[in-house]
Structure 1
Amino acid sequence: MIVNLTFDVEEFDFPTERGLEIAFEKQLSVSTEGLEGLLRMLEKHQAKATFYVTANYAQHKVSIVRRILSLGHEIASHDFYHAPGSKLMPAKSKIALEAITGTPVIGYRSPRLAKISADELAAAGYLYNSSMNPTCVPFRYNNLLKPRSIFKEGSILQYPTSVSWPLRIPLFWISFHVMGFHFYKKLAYTALKKDGHLNLYFHPWEFSDRLADSEFGVPGFIANCSGTTLLNKLERLIVDLKNRGCDFQTTKKYLGFDV
C-alpha cells in the first residue's frame, strides 16, 4: 500500500482571508518555519513526499526549495500566487519552478483546489492534476458524484485527494487537526483498503509554533492542534502506517512518471 504525503507550500495568507494584514516577510517566515520541521521529521523516517509549491514562494525561498529536491522529494506546482483573487497561471508557474529546480515539474494542484481545465494543464505541459477533493465541503465545492480514485481526463491523469469509505469523509488537513488520532487513523485505513493508496495534504504553516499568535486570527479548532503538537501527530501516523507495511512515495513515482 502506498502513502502520498503532500504539502501545499505557499505564502501564509490564511489571515488575509479574514481581513488581517500580515507582512509578506512574516507570511514567508511562518511557512518556512513549519517546512523546516517537516523536512527534518520526514528525513528521520526516510519518508518521501510531494511538495506543491507556489512560484511566488519559490522565488523568495530558493535555497529551501532546492533542499526539498535534494532530499529526494518531488517539487510540483501550486500555481504562481496563493493570495485570494489571484489569477491561475499554471504555465508561468511551471516555467518559474523549473528554472529554480532545474528539473521537470509535471504535477499541479490549484490554490484552494480551484477548478482548472485539463486542456489548460496539458497545454502547459503537466501530466497529472491533484486539485479535486471527492467530497462535499459546504460553501467550497461539491464533488460527491466525481470519481474517488485515479482517472484520466484527456491526457491528464487526475489524482483526487483521499476520503474515507464508504462515507466520503474528507481526510484533508482540517480533519487531521480536529479529529482524534485513532478515529482519523481508522478512516484512513478504510481509504487504503478501498483505493490501495492515501493522498493526504497539509500546509507547512500548520506546523509553525506561531499559529496560535492572536495577530493571525487562526480559529482555535486549528490553532489548538498545530505546530509541534501537529508534527508529533503526523509522525505517529507515519510510524503507524510504516508498521503496517505502507511505502511513502512521491506522487510522480506512484503514478508511474518517475522514470
Structure 2
Amino acid sequence: MLNALSFDIEDWFQVENLKGAIAADSWDTCDLRVVNNTRKILDLLRRHQTRATFFILGWVAERCPDLVREIADAGHEIASHGYGHELVYTQTPEEFRRDLRRSKEILEGLTGMAVRGYRAPSFSVNPETPWALDVLVDEGFTYDSSVFPTSFHDRYGFSGSSLSPFRFDNGLVEVPLSTVRFGGKNIPAAGGGYFRLFPYPFFRYLAKRINGEGRALVFYLHPWELDPEQPRIPIRHDYRFRHYVNLCKTGRRLDRLLGDFRFGAMGELVARVGGKVAEA
C-alpha cells in the first residue's frame, strides 16, 4: 500500500512549544539549523528512492531559497505550511488569507510550480475555523492535511472527523493525520512526537494495523526532530519533554520506517483517492 510521507519544514525555534520563550521578532537572531537538518532527510529519501511532500514555512523559504529549489529539484512535492507559523484559530480570516497568500507566492516564485497542498501549523484547522476551508479554495489549494482526528492533545484535535481522506462541501480534499481506534478513542499514530515517544516496534504495529484496515499511513516529521544537538531552552516541563524526547533516535527510526513501508508524496495519495473520497 502507498503511504503518504510529509515533512513540515520549520526550524527549532519556531515550534509552538517554544513560543513563550522565543518571540517571533527574535527569530532572525537564532541559529538557523533547518538547512542541514532538511538535508539529512533528503539523503535518507535519496537512499530509499522515496518521494515526499515538504510543507515549507514561507519564513524559511524566504531565507533559504536554495533549499526550496534543492527539494524541488530532487523531485519532491512542495506545499505550504503558511508563512509565520501562526495558529489558524488565532487569526482572522483576512490575516489567514494574507499569511497563506504570502507563503504560496514565495514558494511558487522559487519553483515555478503551482502549490496545491497546505498544512496548518500545529494542525490548527478545527471545527472552530470552517471559514479557513473556503479561504484555502479561494487561494487555489486543492487539498489540506491539517485535520488530526484525536482528542489527546491540548492544542489541536478534530474529534469525530473521518479517519480516511474525505472531501469538504466546497470541494477541498482533506487528508487527515493517522490515528488508530482503541477503546473508543483515536490514538495518534502519524509521526512527530508520537514517533519519537513510542518504541519503534509499537509504532510499526500501529502503521501495519492502519494498512490492514485499508488506510494509508499519513506520516509527518520536522527537520529539528533529527537534531539532538539543537539548543536547549528552559520551558515548562511537559513542553520540554514533548520537544526533546528521543531526538537522538529519530534518524535511525525514520531509516527503518522507510525500509518497512512504501511511501509517496501527499499529492500521489490525493490523486489515487480523489475520485473515491467521502463527503464530509
Q: Give TM class, smaller chain.
A: 0.7 to 0.9
In 2, distance between residues paired with 1:164 and 1:27?
A: 37
Q: For residue 84 of structure 2, what is the aligned residue in structure 1? A: 81
User: What's 1:123 paired with?
Assistant: 138
How far residue 234 of structure 1 moved from its aligned partner, in angstroms, is 0.8
Mark the runs of 5 or more structure 2 residues left unpaired by the alignment.
273-280
Query: Structure 1 residues 222, 140: closer, same or farther in 2, change over 3 A?
Result: closer
Give the C-alpha shift of residue 170 in structure 1.
Answer: 0.5
Does residue 168 of structure 2 align to residue 150 of structure 1? no
Alignment of 1:226 with 2:242, yes or no, is no
| Contact 1:177/1:221, CA 8 A, preserved across alignment | no
Q: Which moved more, 1:125-134 or 1:162-171?
A: 162-171
CA RMSD of aligned residues (A): 2.2
Structure 1: runs of 5 or more not aligned: none
Q: Deviations over 1:126-156 (max 9, x none)?
A: 0000011111133223422111111111121
**2: distance between equivalents of 1:62 and 1:121?**
24
User: Of 91, 97, 108, which residue of structure 1 is paired with 2:101?
Assistant: 91
Deviation string, structure 1 residues 173-197 (Cα, Å, up to 9, x no partner) = 1111111010111011111222431
- In the alignment of these two chains, the number of paired residues is 250
For the residue of structure 1 that corresponds to 2:219, the secondary structure is strand
Paired position in structure 1 for 2:187 = 169
Structure-1 residue corresponding to 2:278 = none
- How many Å apart are 1:109 and its aligned residue? 0.6
2:55 to 52, 55, 61: 52
User: Does 2:199 match 1:197?
Assistant: no
- Displacement, 1:256? 1.2
2:151 corresponds in structure 1 to: 136
* 1:105 corresponds to: 115
Distance 2:245 2:74 in 1: 30
**Percent identity of the aligned residues?**
26
Which segment is superposed worse, 215-224 or 105-114? Answer: 215-224
Shift of 1:21: 6.0
Amino acid at match of 1:150: P
How many Å separate the matches in 2 of 1:26 and 1:174?
26
Give the TM-score, by structure 2 length.
Answer: 0.81
In the alignment, residue 252 of structure 2 is paired with which amino acid? N
Tell me by how many angstroms 1:16 deviates.
3.6
Q: C-alpha displacement at 1:210, in angstroms?
A: 1.7
Separation of aligned partners in 2, 1:204 and 1:35: 5
1:67-78 map, 5 Å: 67-78=70-81
Of 63, 66, 70, 2:66 maps to 63
Question: Larger deviation: 104-113 or 7-16?
Answer: 7-16
Call closer, same or farther: CA 1:220–1:142 in 2, change over 3 Å: closer
Cα deviation digits, residues 84-111 of structure 1 (max 9, x gap): 6674322222122101111010000111
Report if the CA contact (8 A) 2:234-2:240 is conserved. Answer: no
Equivalents in 1 of 2:166, 2:10: separation in Å? 27
Tell me how far apart the structure 1 counterparts of residues 234 and 268 of structure 2 sit (CA, whole Å): 37
Letter in 2 for 1:17: K
1:38 is the counterpart of 2:38 = no
Distance 1:128 1:41 in 2: 26
- Structure 1 CA distance for aligned equivalents of residues 242 and 59 of structure 2: 29
Counterpart residue type for residue 102 of structure 2: K
Native 8 Å contact 2:119 2:144 kept in 1: yes
Q: Which residue of 210, 222, 246 corresponds with 2:229?
A: 210
Give the distance between the partners of 1:68 and 1:181, measured in 2 at CA. Answer: 27
Shift, 1:27, TM fit: 4.7
Q: Matched residues in 2 for 1:83 and 1:165: separation?
A: 30
